[in-house]
Structure 1
Amino acid sequence: MGAEGIQSWFNDAVRLEKSGQSDEAKRLYEKIIQEDSGFYLAYQNLGVIYAKENDHVKATQFFSQAVKIHPDFKNCYNIAVSFFRLKELEKSIHFLKQALKFEKKFVLAHLLLAQIYQINENDEKTEVYLTNVVKIDPNHKTALGGLAMFYYERNRYPESLKMLERYLLLYPGNSQLRLIQSDILAKQGNYKASATLLTEMATHDSGFVSFNQTLEKAWGEEDTLAQESLHRIQGNAKKKLKEFKAKLELSRENPEEFSPPDPQEAMDLSLLYLFNGNPEKAMQYLVFAQKMKENTET
């Protein structure tokens, strides 16, 4: 069959794929490959279909053929994503770096590399690739949120606050990141600004009182880096709050052994209660922290 016939089959397969007739499209793509083993677009589209069906083993097989025939940033990225889904992270890293050789400003490759290096607990490279995205696109939502949480989890509060301010200016309404912003303000000793922000949220933001319920809704799929950080923080908050409540129970039996929290501990407790959907308790400990700080300064 000539090139025109192969192209006609390919066009038909694409139409079938777009109309949701994936099985028919796959059969026609495979027929194209039998006629012309060098027609890389058929391999590429078969890989995409299997990836959508979550069959990443087959997807990598077809993407691999597409890369051999026509190595470009798109095919390298496709196979990298499937290897990532299969948790074959080193292979994913290899192809992502290949993709960046073809297109050094390919944002999706930088983001996925940052995510993989975060999984591998490689802080240096996680920061490098997130920063690369911000250099390419200073207003990139995912990178700004990811860097804000990256810095926060490592107690790099000035850098985290800077990223949070940029994020919330461009993408207002994220109650979870506003809670983090409030916590950082308090950790820096700016209790008044922290209390003002929390009071405003408690009054106007319905998500403020239902953190657990709104966590998933607050983020899109592309915000994986920041969302995973918040899941870790939420998990730690539950654990620490459970420990504090146990300590309170013991204090009723031995009150002489119980010491009240210092300002920073009180601020931490405030955030714990926020993450567990109890704004009243949160405000009590925030006010307590502010008063304790004022007493130590007089």
Structure 2
Amino acid sequence: MQAPEIQSLFNEAVRLEKAGERKKSKETYLKIIELSPDHHLSYQNLGAIFSKEGDHRNALDFFLKAIRLNPDFKNYYNAGVSVFKLKEYEKAVHFIKQALHLNKQFILGHLLLAQIYQHLNQDEKTEIYLKNIIKLDPNHKSALGGLAMFYYERKRYPESLKMLERYLLLYPGNAQLKLIQSEVLAKQGNFKESANLLMEMTKTDVGFTHFNETLASAWQEEDELAKESIHRIQTTAKKRLKEFQTKLELSRENPEEFAPPEPQEALDLSLLYLFNGNPEKAMQYLVFAQKMKENTDAKD
């Protein structure tokens, strides 16, 4: 078949794909491949369709065929995404590094490598690739959020606060990271500033009173690093809150053995309740923490 006819079929396949008719689109791409086995764009687009459908094994097969015909950085990246989704992390590293070898400034490649190395618990490499993105784009939303949470989880609070401030200055609507900022301030001893920030959120930020509802919608797919960190923190918060509630139940039987929380513990409890969608309890412990701190300061 002549090139103009192949191009006409390809245009039709693309049109069907954009119209959401994936089955017909795939059939058309396969017809093109049957007529013109070296048509790499058809392999590439078939891989993309299977990827959207969650069939990453078939997607990978088509991306690999596209690479053999056209070994460009996008095809290597697509193959890397597929094996990453299949949790074959070492293979994913290989493909993404091939993509970056061809295009060192390909930000999505650096971002995915950071995500892979986080799954592999290789902190040094995770940090390197997140920093690479900041060098390429100082205002990159996902890298700033990812680094902020990377530092937070490793108790590197000054670095975390720096990234949080940069992130929230550029992207002020993220209630979850504002909460993390308030906790980091408290961890550094800035209790009053931390409490003021939380108090302000109760008045102005819908994310404070609808935390669990906003958690899923606050992040986009490319923000996966920060989103995964928030999810881990929320899981830990649920466990710690359960432990505290058990302690509280036991105190009703033996009240003389129960000591009230210290100011920092009270602030932690405020945040735990907030992360678990209970703003009323969160505010009770926040106010209690403030009063305890004021009393301690007055004695000093």
Structure 2 equivalent of residue 255 of structure 1: 255
Q: What secondary structure does 1:173 align onto?
A: coil
Give CA deviations for 1:209-233 in whole Å, capped at 9, x if unaligned.
2212221122222211111111111
**Structure-2 change in CA distance of 1:80 and 1:258 (3 Å):** same
Structure 1 equivalent of residue 145 of structure 2: 145
How do 1:229-240 and structure 2 match up within 5 A?
229-240=229-240
Q: What secondary structure does 1:216 align onto?
A: helix
Give CA deviations for 1:83-119 in whole Å, capped at 9, x if unaligned.
1222222221111111101111111111111111112
What amino acid is aligned across from residue 40 of structure 2 in structure 1?
Y
Structure 2 equivalent of residue 41 of structure 1: 41
Normalized against structure 1, the TM-score is what? 0.93
What amino acid is aligned across from residue 221 of structure 1 in structure 2?
E
**Mapped pair 1:102 → 2:102:** yes
Residues in 1 aligned to 2:46 and 2:79: alpha-carbon distance in whole angstroms: 12
What amino acid is aligned across from residue 225 of structure 1 in structure 2?
L
Normalized against structure 2, the TM-score is what? 0.92
Structure 1 equivalent of residue 202 of structure 2: 202
Structure 1 equivalent of residue 26 of structure 2: 26
Shift of residue 261, structure 1, vs aligned partner: 2.4
Shift of residue 292, structure 1, vs aligned partner: 4.2
**Mapped pair 1:17 → 2:34:** no
Structure 1 equivalent of residue 180 of structure 2: 180
What amino acid is aligned across from residue 148 of structure 1 in structure 2?
A
Q: What secondary structure does 2:217 align onto?
A: coil
Residues in 2 aligned to 1:158 and 1:51: alpha-carbon distance in whole angstroms: 40
Residues in 1 aligned to 2:93 and 2:271: alpha-carbon distance in whole angstroms: 36
Shift of residue 262, structure 1, vs aligned partner: 2.6
Residues in 1 aligned to 2:14 and 2:255: alpha-carbon distance in whole angstroms: 73
Residues in 1 aligned to 2:250 and 2:129: alpha-carbon distance in whole angstroms: 47
Shift of residue 267, structure 1, vs aligned partner: 2.3
Structure 2 equivalent of residue 51 of structure 1: 51
How do 1:1-298 and structure 2 match up within 5 A?
1-293=1-293, 295=296, 298=300
Residues in 1 aligned to 2:280 and 2:27: alpha-carbon distance in whole angstroms: 61
CA-based RMSD of the aligned residues comes to 1.8
Aligned residues: 298
Residues in 2 aligned to 1:57 and 1:203: alpha-carbon distance in whole angstroms: 49
Could you list the runs of 5+ residues in structure 1 that have no partner in the other structure? none
Could you list the runs of 5+ residues in structure 2 that have no partner in the other structure? none
**Structure-2 change in CA distance of 1:32 and 1:164 (3 Å):** same
**Structure-2 change in CA distance of 1:28 and 1:156 (3 Å):** same
Q: What secondary structure does 1:78 align onto?
A: helix
Residues in 2 aligned to 1:27 and 1:278: alpha-carbon distance in whole angstroms: 51
Shift of residue 32, structure 1, vs aligned partner: 2.2
Residues in 1 aligned to 2:15 and 2:284: alpha-carbon distance in whole angstroms: 61
The range that moved more, 27-36 or 268-277, is 27-36
Q: What secondary structure does 1:260 align onto?
A: coil
